[in-house]
Amino acid sequence: MKLRSEFAPWDAELLYSVPGLRVADPKACQCGEVLKGVIKPWECKVFGTACTPETPIGTCMVSPEGACAAYFNYGRFSMASERTRLHVVPQSEITRP
Ligand code: SF4
């Protein structure tokens, strides 16, 4: 990713010299797809297993505002409310005529 030339005055890569700094994305990380909306965070192969807020692999899990971290921390609440909204009846409570 690179800034367009009209934003050059604010481009930190041009303003500051950090020699030899190369950061490659881990192969397992799918942050690019998450950020583009191609996949949801939980669809990443390592979401919640190898990649958690305590052991982040990609940038989306590092910051609490990151999409993956937000889904990891708060997704269970939305899934719980969804179950409540649907009012799932356990099999044992179903009476048959
Ligand atoms: S931050 Fe973690 S869970 Fe999110 S896409 Fe990257 S590797 Fe997958």
Cα angle 42, 47, 49 (rounded to 5 degrees) comes to: 135
Rg over CA atoms, the chain: 21
Give pLDDT tens digits for 2-14: 889 999 999 988 8
Give pLDDT tens digits for 61-77: 999 999 999 999 988 66
Segment 45-62 mean pLDDT? 93
Best CA proximity match to 29, nearest among 56, 1, 57: 57
**Other residues' Cβ atoms within 10 Å of the Cβ of residue 69:** 21
| Ligand 1 contacts CB of residue 72 (under 6 A) | no
| Ligand 1 contacts CB of residue 68 (under 6 A) | yes
CA atoms of 92 and 50, how far apart (whole Å): 36
The residue whose CA is least distant from atom 3 of ligand 1 is: 47
Q: Tell me what pLDDT residue 20 has.
A: 79
Q: Tell me what pLDDT residue 77 has.
A: 62
